């Protein structure tokens, strides 16, 4: 596999140096990758907090070029998928590697549709939560609890079991997400409606009630579908890496996805969409933008402009471009005048022309616009990250499945230890 090698020269204290030859791999796209796996045997580790320079696995699912703003799923640009595909077709693509034929798509959609209900006993879980629990807290608990229900699909060495687990997760996430919202507002849970498509059914479970038929706007359903699609996968981000790490110990798939949900929740990751709207509310008026931009630039102030910056994208986030266009379309179609949108647009202009943001290559990311569009669709702020989790579930499952079906070892990073050297225990009188 490796046609090139790199030599690492480690200078020793005694004027000698240790030369270590390392294989260098070429992917189908992207930079060459130096394999440092053999360093341990030579008495060394690499040090890379935050994994900024570390490829943790080999993968064929998603490719990102952060400099050029490229995002490909199985080779297909995200812009083309957002325009021509839909969420479930993109799920099929991510899981299976190819776009489905008409028959394959129908069979896939049928399978997902047939798994939308959750075990009736799951409903009782919700009563254990406080009504004001954050829906992401409920998602962590309830999705993890699925591992206690589906014993017939947890032999992870069996490809069929893995496939059933994937269907269950993709199908049940919107149901559990909507239940977590209904619980928080004290309304009855809505059973899924299998005559509706994936996104329309989600809106029915979120906003419907048992007293009257749900009326679902096709514009909103289409926008919702596009939001799920734009979040479907993003290679080895924090939550996906968490799912892989948890899965590498051969843990239960539902528990692994719950771990991913936990990692997604933070404001540096999926929690940013909620944080963006809170920030725009806090800014409150266009006249206060300069004040917040100054705070973001102040080293002594922990405040950051939420929805700006990305570990990988250093030019633009292609998802943000599509999301911005979708936000404009939805707001125009629904005739919504949103004050936050005005603030967001002005903030974007100011930040993009500011030396600090230019120099640090901080651009609006997907979460900057998704918050605005979700608000326009009537989704409550506390549900924003939950919606990210629903969309990302397929990515988590696809990566977990890719790992389990290939060769893998338990993930076990090492450390640069800077604590005490060995010392003797002192009795309490001697301390």
Burial label for 406, CB within 10 Å (0-12, 13-18, 19+), is exposed
Return d(Cα 86, Cα 420) in angstroms, integer.
55
Residue sitting closest to ligand CMC (CB): 309
**According to CB under 6 A, which one of 69, 144, 270, 395 is a site residue for ligand CMC?**
270
Closest CB 50 distance from ligand CMC, rounded Å: 6
Nearest residue to 275 (alpha-carbon basis) of 321, 318, 240, 309: 309
Q: Does 69 bind ligand CMC (CB under 6 A)?
A: no
- DSSP track, 107-139: HHHHHHHTT-SPPTTHHHHHTTS-TT--HHHHH
Return d(Cα 345, Cα 27) in angstroms, integer.
38
Q: From the candidates 86, 317, 367, 399, which is the catalytic residue?
A: 367
Closer of 280 and 366 to ligand CMC (Cβ): 366
Starting at the earlier edge strand, list the strands of the sheet with 4-11.
4-11, 17-25, 33-34
Count of residues interacting with ligand CMC (CB under 6 A): 21
State whether residue 8 is helix, strand or coil: strand
Closest CB 282 distance from ligand CMC, rounded Å: 14
**Under 8 Å between Cβ of 183 and 138:** yes
One character per residue 27-66, x = contact with ligand CMC (rule: CB under 6 A): -----------------------x----------------
**According to CB under 6 A, which one of 147, 201, 237, 401 is a site residue for ligand CMC?**
237
Closer of 153 and 236 to ligand CMC (Cβ): 236
Clarify whether 367 is annotated catalytic: yes
Q: Does 135 bind ligand CMC (CB under 6 A)?
A: no
Show the tokens assigned to 178.
């909507």
Beta strands in 159-269 (DSSP E): none
One character per residue 1-30, x = contact with ligand CMC (rule: CB under 6 A): ------------------------------
Closest CB 361 distance from ligand CMC, rounded Å: 8
Cα dist from 169 to 91, 386, 393, whole Å: 12, 14, 7
Closest CB 235 distance from ligand CMC, rounded Å: 10
Q: Does 232 bind ligand CMC (CB under 6 A)?
A: no
Closer of 131 and 299 to ligand CMC (Cβ): 299
Clarify whether 269 is annotated catalytic: yes
Closest CB 375 distance from ligand CMC, rounded Å: 16
Q: Does 318 bind ligand CMC (CB under 6 A)?
A: no
Stretch that binds ligand CMC, among 61-69, 83-91, 263-271, 406-414 (CB under 6 A): 263-271
Return d(Cα 166, Cα 288) in angstroms, integer.
46
**Within positions 355 to 384, which residues make up the interface with ligand CMC, using CB under 6 A?**
360, 362, 365-367
**Under 8 Å between Cβ of 237 and 269:** yes
**According to CB under 6 A, which one of 296, 323, 341, 377 is a site residue for ligand CMC?**
296
Nearest residue to 292 (alpha-carbon basis) of 339, 371, 282: 282
Closer of 150 and 368 to ligand CMC (Cβ): 368
Closer of 197 and 235 to ligand CMC (Cβ): 235
Q: From the candidates 310, 338, 354, 424, which is the catalytic residue?
A: 310
Closer of 122 and 245 to ligand CMC (Cβ): 245
Burial label for 418, CB within 10 Å (0-12, 13-18, 19+), is exposed
Return d(Cα 351, Cα 305) in angstroms, integer.
9
Closer of 237 and 252 to ligand CMC (Cβ): 237
**Under 8 Å between Cβ of 247 and 166:** no
Nearest residue to 265 (alpha-carbon basis) of 392, 114, 113, 95: 392
Q: Which residues bind ligand CMC (CB under 6 A)?
A: 50, 234, 237, 268-270, 272, 296, 304-311, 360, 362, 365-367
Residues annotated as catalytic (active site), given as ranges: 269, 310, 367
């Amino acid at each position: 596999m490796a046609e090139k090698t790199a030599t690492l020269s480690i200078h020793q204290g005694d004027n000698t140096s240790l030369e270590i030859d390392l294989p260098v791999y070429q992917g189908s796209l992207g930079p060459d990758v130096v394999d440092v796996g053999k360093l341990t045997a030579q008495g060394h580790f690499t040090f890379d907090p935050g994994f900024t320079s570390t490829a943790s696995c080999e993968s064929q699912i998603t490719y990102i070029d952060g400099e050029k703003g490229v995002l490909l799923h199985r080779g297909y640009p995200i812009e083309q998928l957002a325009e021509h595909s839909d969420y479930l077709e993109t799920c099929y693509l991510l899981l299976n590697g190819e776009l489905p034929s008409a028959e394959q798509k129908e069979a896939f959609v049928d399978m997902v549709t047939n798994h939308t209900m959750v075990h009736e006993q799951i409903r009782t879980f919700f009563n254990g939560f406080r009504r004001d629990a954050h829906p992401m807290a409920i998602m962590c608990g309830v999705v993890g609890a699925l591992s206690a229900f589906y014993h017939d699909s947890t032999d992870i060495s069996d490809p069929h079991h893995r496939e059933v687990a994937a269907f269950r997760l993709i199908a049940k996430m919107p149901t559990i997400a909507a239940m977590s919202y209904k619980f928080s507002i004290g309304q009855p849970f809505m059973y899924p409606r299998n005559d509706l498509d994936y996104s329309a059914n989600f809106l029915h479970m979120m906003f419907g009630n048992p007293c009257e038929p749900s009326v679902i706007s096709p514009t909103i359903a289409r926008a919702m579908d596009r939001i799920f699609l734009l979040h479907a996968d993003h290679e080895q981000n924090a939550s996906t890496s968490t799912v892989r790490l948890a899965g590498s110990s051969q843990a239960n798939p539902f528990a692994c996805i719950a771990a991913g949900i936990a990692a997604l929740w933070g404001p540096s990751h999926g929690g940013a969409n909620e944080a963006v709207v809170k920030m725009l509310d806090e800014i409150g008026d266009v006249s206060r933008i300069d004040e917040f931009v100054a705070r973001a630039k102040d080293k002594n102030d922990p405040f950051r402009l939420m929805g700006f910056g990305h570990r990988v994208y250093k030019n633009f986030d292609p998802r943000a471009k599509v999301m911005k266009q979708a936000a404009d379309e939805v707001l125009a179609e629904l005739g919504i005048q949103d004050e936050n949108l005005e603030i967001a647009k002005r903030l974007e202009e100011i930040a993009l022309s500011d030396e600090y943001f230019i120099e640090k290559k901080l651009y609006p990311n997907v979460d900057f616009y998704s918050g605005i569009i979700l608000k326009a669709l009537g989704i409550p702020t506390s549900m924003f990250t939950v919606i990210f989790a629903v969309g990302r579930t397929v990515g988590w499952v696809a990566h977990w499945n890719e790992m389990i079906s290939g060769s893998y070892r338990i993930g076990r990073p090492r450390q640069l230890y800077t604590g005490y050297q060995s010392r003797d225990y002192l009795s309490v009188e001697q301390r």
